[in-house]
Amino acid sequence: MIREFSSSEVWFLVQAVRWTVLLALLAFLGGGLVGLAVAILRISKARLPRAIAIVYIKVFQGTPLLMQLYLVYFGINLFGIETNAWVAAALGLTFYSSAFLGEIWRGCIQAIPRTQWDGARALALGYLPGLRLVILPQALRIAIPPTVGFMVQILKGTSLASIIGFTELTRAAQMVNNATFRPFIVYALVALLYFLLCWPLSLVSQRLERRLDPGRLTPAKLAAQ
Amino acid sequence: MGAALTYVFQFGAVWQELDKLLLGAWLTVRLSSIAMVLGLAVGILGALGKASHSRLLRGLVQGYIDAIRNTPFLVQLLLVYLGLPSVGLRLTPEQAALLAMVVNLGAYATEIVRAGIEAVPRGQIEAGRALGFKAHHIFRFLILVPALRAVFPALASQFILVMLASSVVSVISAEELTAVADTIVARNFRSFEFYFVITGIYLVLTLAFQGAFALIERWLFGRWSKHT
């Protein structure tokens, strides 16, 4: 029995957006916490923590997100725990996001001039207090544009959770398509919904980046050259 | 009730199917390599379009970039594979996978190549003109090559992301590494072992591509740079 593609199907898809957004927020939160730890380990002066962070980043940036989701999904099962799509999706996306955020933030921390570290030491601040009170607040400013940009990657990445059975926007689309068999309109609408989520973030990220870098060549400046 | 690990790993099952996995890895390499070459070509054309005097063309290219970069690859793939037949274009899974990968990479490559072209000093082009270079020589030697040289590391990272994203095309059962594993796992239920090994193979592929790109960069531009 093929159903008509009607406003109730559209509404079903629009409502599925909240699971995509919620999963993305969980992944951003988890990825942010772990990512901060990864970034701090990555800039450590001791060799072992640095090596651990480098391997972590290499592994999670060098393998497909889909494989990470599969491994978490089937891995949880091995411990005799009933696999829950929520846990698997949130955990898998946390690993993925933390590797990228960790590397982005490492770059931001290392972009702060060494003299700031010297200044912190001159104020008798230890390593971690200096990092927290002097370096991170400055690094945060330059970290915002790429971080917002990466949120777009996380939002898009949540679509892969549909493959392990997590019902978010893409999985909702598959369900609607199976019932109505109108793939073109269904997936075009879903693409539009993702676009409406991601585009504003992309624009904000670009605008913030431009504001941080006033020396950047704009077309107007190029013409004046 | 404990969460103890009582599962017995059987990696022997993976060993038995190794030839199929290696074939899958080869298919991934082939699919990704073709997508990289075609995607770069789309990127160069797109960057040309963005540098054009026609406002309409610039707007179209920008629309393409924004549409692709702000929607998931999986949705683009399903739209190509399931959606296009309803407008009369029926593709095999492999063709759909390749088309989706090229269209996706093309958008990112356009942005990267455009950034490279913008970084070319205007004086260089004027010098070429003053020396009587032909227009297509100016474009090739004074714009495109220096632009690609400037952005090669960014292109290489994007190429690797496309190779990793290719695992997603297994959902439309286009034959590549992940799809091969899916087929085997459906028969012997050793999901974790197989996906673990497959993940390892992807990591090796990533490192191999990074090495290959470093060599290509050395060969084309005569310099080494660190790829991450």
Return the number of other C-beta atoms located less than 10 Å from residue A7's C-beta: 8
pLDDT, average across residues A168-180: 94
How confident is the model over B34-48, as a mean pLDDT?
A: 97
Cα four-point dihedral sign B169, B175, B176, B177: positive
The pLDDT of A87-115, averaged and rounded, is 96
B56 falls within a domain: yes
pLDDT over threshold 80, residue A214: no
Q: What is the pLDDT of residues B51-77, one digit of tens each?
A: 999 999 999 999 999 999 999 999 999
Residue B18: predicted pLDDT: 87
- How does pLDDT run across B138-159, given as a tens digit for each residue? 988 899 999 999 999 999 999 9
DSSP state for residue B166 in the 8-state scheme:
G
The stretch A176-189 carries a mean pLDDT of 93
Mean pLDDT value across residues B109-117: 96
Q: So what's the ipTM on this one?
A: 0.89
- B205, part of any domain: yes
Of the candidates A70, A89, A86, A90, the one whose C-alpha atom is nearest the C-alpha of residue A78 is A70
Residue B120 has pLDDT above 60, yes or no: yes
The model's pLDDT over B205-220, given as tens digits with 9 standing for 90+, comes to 999 999 999 999 999 8
Give the distance from residue B219's alpha carbon to the nearest chain A alpha carbon, in angstroms. 24
Topology given in CATH for the domain delimited by A7-224: MetI-like fold (1.10.3720)
Predicted confidence at residue A218, as pLDDT, reads 52
- Which tokens belong to A203? 């624009």
**Does B226 reside within a domain?**
no
Query: Of B67, B71, B167, which has the smallest distance from its Cβ to A66's Cβ?
Result: B167
Residue B217 to residue B210: CA distance in whole angstroms: 10
* The pLDDT of residue A225: 46
DSSP label at residue A4: P
- Please give the residue of chain B at the shortest CA–CA distance from A82: B3
Cβ atoms of A53 and A41 closer than 8 Å: yes
The answer, for A67 touching chain B at a CB cutoff of 8 Å, is: yes
**What residues 121-140 of chain B have any CB closer than 8 A to a CB of chain A?**
122
Confidence check: pLDDT of B7 > 80? no
Q: What is the pLDDT averaged over residues B162-191?
A: 89
Residue A84 in contact with partner chain B when CB distance is under 8 A: no
Chain A interface disruption, residue of B71, B176, B194, most A CBs within 10 A = B71
User: Cβ contacts (< 8 Å) between A100 and chain B: which residues?
Assistant: none
Structural domain for B25, as ranges: 13-221
Cα nearest neighbour of A184 on chain B: B83
Q: Can you give the pLDDT at residue A79?
A: 80
Q: How far apart are CA A70 and CA B205, in angstroms?
A: 19
- Number of Cβ pairs < 8 A linking chain A and chain B: 131
The mean pLDDT value of chain B amounts to 91
Query: What tokens appear for B75 in the block?
Result: 């949705």
Task: Give the domain CATH number at B138.
Answer: 1.10.3720.10
> Which residues of chain A neighbour B72 with C-beta distances below 8 Å?
156-160, 170, 194
Which of A64, A68, A191 minimises the CB distance to B71? A191
Residues 13-52 of A with CB under 8 A from B: none
Domain extent listing, chain A: 7-224
Query: Within a domain: residue B95?
Result: yes
Per-residue confidence (pLDDT) for residue A210, from 0 to 100: 87
| For A70, nearest residue in chain B (alpha carbons) | B195
pLDDT classification of A77: cutoffs 50, 70, 90: confident
**Is A184 in contact with B199 (Cβ distance < 8 A)?**
no
Provide, rounded to the nearest whole percent, the portion of chain B with pLDDT above 70: 95
Helices (H), A111-135: 114-122, 127-130
Instruction: Please report which confidence band the pLDDT of residue B1 belongs to, taking 50, 70 and 90 as the band edges.
Output: very low
The pLDDT assigned to A223 comes to: 52
Confidence of residue B225 (pLDDT cuts 50, 70, 90): low
B227 belongs to a structural domain: no
Answer whether residue A32 shows pLDDT above 50: yes
What pLDDT sits at residue B16?
Answer: 82
- Per-residue pLDDT averaged across A147-153, rounded? 96
pLDDT band at A1 (very low <50, low <70, confident <90, very high): low
Average pLDDT over residues B37-42: 98
- In this complex, the residue of A64, A75, A195 whose CB is nearest that of residue B167 is A64
pLDDT class for A55, splitting at 50, 70, 90?
very high
